[in-house]
């Protein structure tokens, strides 16, 4: 069932794109998949009016694919191509085709370790969100929890944001602060941040599925 909804942040001229109810999620990840599992569990509990319609990884052995398959979600490895940090042109096309074939409304990056750019973001304009393990704009990029620990901050955290053409620069939807405690290692701090992620990400997806997130410029509002 399709309903017309406003895009999350104003574009000129204003236009709307169809969003389904429940929201159709395409999840991209490169790692163990704990965020995907948290979203799937929240959907099963009835907390998130969404469906996971496809899970895609750039890493053939990634745990996220095993978790997805064991829950019965369509899941596939799509090779990223010749670059280390982004998709090459053929791979980008393959990801786009797979997401379009699954009629995805919202692309949810859950530990997807490649930068999305150009054609992908044009086609899924304002329809891609990411979770990042720091309080952005501090510590974008790789191993953000380690960057935070090395810097000596007293609060680390996680951020859910829209994805734009920059690296971890899109409008921030929600953040959770996580204390750094005496004796923390990169591993213990990352575990504490990931606990916060598993609570935050499903809440954001639920709010998006309910069309509660309003965006004006870089400001967003509406997370209950």
Q: How do beta strands 23-28 and 106-109 pair?
A: parallel
Q: Is 79 helix (H, G, I), strand (E, B) or coil?
A: coil
**Given 110, 174, 196, 209, the residue binding ligand GAR (CB under 6 A):** 110
CB closer to ligand GAR, 23 vs 136: 136
- When asked if residue 34 is in the footprint of ligand GAR (CB under 6 A), the reply is yes
Under DSSP, the state recorded for 114 is S
Alpha-carbon distance of 9 to 172, in angstroms, equals 12
**Given 8, 20, 24, 33, the residue binding ligand GAR (CB under 6 A):** 33
Count of residues engaged in binding ligand GAR, rule: CB under 6 A: 14
**Given 26, 80, 111, 202, the residue binding ligand GAR (CB under 6 A):** 111
- When asked if residue 132 is in the footprint of ligand GAR (CB under 6 A), the reply is yes
- Least distance CB 150 / ligand GAR (angstroms): 16
Q: How far is CA 144 from the centre of its chain?
A: 16
Catalytic residues: 132
Beta strands in 81-205 (DSSP E): 106-109, 128-132, 155-162, 172-179
Place of tokens 């929890």: 145
Residues that bind ligand GAR (CB under 6 A): 29, 31-35, 64, 110-111, 131-133, 194, 197
């Amino acid at each position: 069932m399709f309903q017309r909804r406003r895009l999350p942040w104003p574009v000129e001229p204003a236009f709307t794109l169809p969003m389904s109810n429940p929201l159709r999620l395409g999840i991209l990840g490169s790692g163990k998949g704990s965020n995907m599992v948290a979203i799937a569990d929240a959907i099963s509990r009835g907390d998130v009016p969404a469906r996971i319609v496809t899970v895609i990884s750039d890493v053939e052995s990634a745990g996220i694919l095993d978790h997805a398959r064991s829950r019965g979600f369509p899941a596939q490895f799509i090779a990223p191509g010749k670059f280390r940090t982004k998709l090459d042109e053929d791979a980008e096309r393959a990801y786009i085709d797979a997401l379009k074939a699954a009629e995805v409304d919202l692309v949810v990056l859950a530990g997807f370790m490649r930068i999305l750019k150009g054609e992908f973001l044009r086609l899924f304009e304002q329809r891609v969100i990411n979770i990042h393990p720091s309080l952005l704009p501090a510590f974008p990029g790789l191993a953000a929890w380690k960057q935070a620990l090395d810097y000596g901050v007293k609060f680390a955290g996680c951020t859910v944001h829209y994805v734009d053409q920059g690296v971890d620069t899109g409008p921030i939807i929600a953040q959770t602060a996580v204390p750094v405690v005496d004796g923390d290692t990169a591993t213990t701090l990352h575990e504490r941040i990931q606990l916060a992620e598993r609570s935050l990400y499903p809440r954001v997806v639920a709010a998006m599925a309910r069309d509660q997130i309003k965006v004006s410029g870089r400001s967003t509002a509406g997370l209950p």
